[in-house]
Amino acid sequence: MNEMPRSRVATEMPTKDKYIIRYLLDKWADQIPTRPYVVFEDGEFWSYYELWERTRRLASSLQGLGVKQGDHVVVWLPHGIEAMLLFFAVNYIGAVYVPINPAYKGGVLQHVLEVADAKYLVAHSELIPRLNDIKTRDFKTIVSVGKAATWIGTADMVDYQTATEGPGDVLPLKRPIEGWDKQAIIFTSGTTGVSKGVSISYLQTLSSNEPFHAYITSSDRYLATLPMFHVGGIGICSTMLYIGGSIAINKGFNTKTFWNTVHATQSTVVFMMGAMAQFVYKLPPTAQDADNSLHTMIVVPMIDNVGAFSTRFRLNIYTMYHQTEISTPILSGANPTKNLTCGRLRAGVEARLVDENDVEVAAGGIGELILRTDRPWAMTTGYAKNPEATVKLWRNGWLHTGDSFRRDEDGDFFFVDRLKDAIRRRGENISSMEVEKEVIAHKDILEVAAVAVPSEYSEDEVMVVVAPVPGRTIDPVQLTEFLRSRLAHFMVPRYIRVLPELPKTPTAKVQKNVLRDLGVTEDTWDREAEGIVIKQDRLG
């Protein structure tokens, strides 16, 4: 692997105008007023001064509605410029930005709104009627983005367009905003269970995104592929704001239009979930693949074909390890060659790999990754309205990631699995990620999830749910033969289910909990029922 980028994350407390939204926007509006901050696909852009001016207008309108410093403001919008502007405006007055997924409805919606504990809601008008179907706290004010909405509650309804036309006379703060103040509550993706609201400080957001300044500069343009209700969404906006760079924003990731967006916005940096990168790689090759403005792609988790991808699209690929609760403790150098690596620890982070009793595992062993940081407030203080989960997260004074890792003699960390995703079959522990890595290598498969399903012999059986590359079909028998030469006998899936596409969160994470709950369905192919037995080789 190439040498790690030098981390710029320091342990000392930075000055407020380097990372707190209000003071940072004030500084840039004065120092670089005409420089673009956000660029759109049609060529239009907002300068830093225009961003500052629009932020202040919306912020003053929020204050006029009664929003005070420290209040929670729920933002329920699709990916786009309104959600981004609200992030800045809410933070500008020292309130707490609480974005929620536009896909939420029913019991899940009720749960996150109870955790959000907010009197103010900004929502797309088409989503507001969903509030009629749930029991939830009474909002004082709802700001509707779009056409008029119908809601049977008692809250005042305000039009967003009117709210953005405020005078811009922002009321003074009751006290200065501090780095340890709560900046946002971001809900976990819910891939392993009920979503939890993660409390995030300004210092955590800074510590999460500072490491990327090792290979991103103020002249770069970062394409915002992740929504603003995801920690990566606010991270992309913050990363470039810290250094006076720019972002590009569109309606969200789309495989077919991805390169058109890159060209139209002249983006130089992009973050991709591993599934997104695979979708792009499996597009038909063209003579123009290397003719693009990107020089850096951050991919999580790391893809298998790093060298081929890097060469084809003429860019450097990096990876990292991150969660909503932490602050990018591990990241790689350019184009890492070690299979499944996440990189090495950045400066200012301590890490241990431990067993279920927090006892450190032997060198080279697999254990849960637990973390501490030198800089205070660089990781979450806990989960909103969930003290039990917070205590479990921070037991013994270390943050427990819930992920199993191994570390080699060079200090490289390798993700093994989510603890909840691990599969145990007939005494053997199986990494779902390692199974998925071999399945995705098949030319006909676009995406895959490996999950544990109950076995009649106790413990688990391995099941893979796959989706084909458009225009191709998947033959379970042929796929099984393909995997026999690539996986240990106990890892070859017994069950194969083919779907047009896998259920995913809006951040492209496969919802394994959904697939696990469905289990073996009527359309699932069973290798053993077909009489195909995979036996151990003579030498293992």
Q: What domains lie within the chain, and their CATH numbers?
A: 345-421 (2.30.38.10), 422-530 (3.30.300.30)
Q: Summarize the confidence of residues 483-491 as an average pLDDT.
A: 86
Task: Determine which of 78-82, 106-110, 450-454 has the lowest per-residue pLDDT on average.
Answer: 106-110
For residue 427, the model assigns a pLDDT of: 66
Structure tokens at 529: 């029922």
In angstroms, the CA 361 to CA 353 distance is: 6
Give the tens place of pLDDT for each residue, 111-129: 899 999 999 999 999 999 9
For residue 4, the model assigns a pLDDT of: 52
Helix, strand, coil: what percent of the chain each, to 5?
Answer: 30, 25, 45
- The reported pTM is 0.83
Place of tokens 């393909």: 482
For residue 190, the model assigns a pLDDT of: 58
Q: Summarize the confidence of residues 329-357 as an average pLDDT.
A: 94
Give the tens place of pLDDT for each residue, 116-173: 999 999 999 999 998 988 886 679 999 999 987 777 778 888 999 887 877 888 999 9
Backbone angles phi and psi of 380, in degrees to 5: -60, 150
pLDDT at 538 over 50: no
For residue 6, the model assigns a pLDDT of: 47
Between the CA of residue 253 and those of 259, 320, 321, 462, 508, what are the distances in Å?
10, 20, 21, 31, 9
Q: Summarize the confidence of residues 211-237 as an average pLDDT.
A: 94
Backbone angles phi and psi of 301, in degrees to 5: -75, 165
Give the tens place of pLDDT for each residue, 244-283: 999 999 888 889 999 999 999 999 999 998 888 988 998 9
Handedness of CA 209, 210, 215, 216 (dihedral sign): positive
In angstroms, the CA 276 to CA 509 distance is: 10
pLDDT-derived band of residue 534, with 50, 70 and 90 as boundaries?
confident
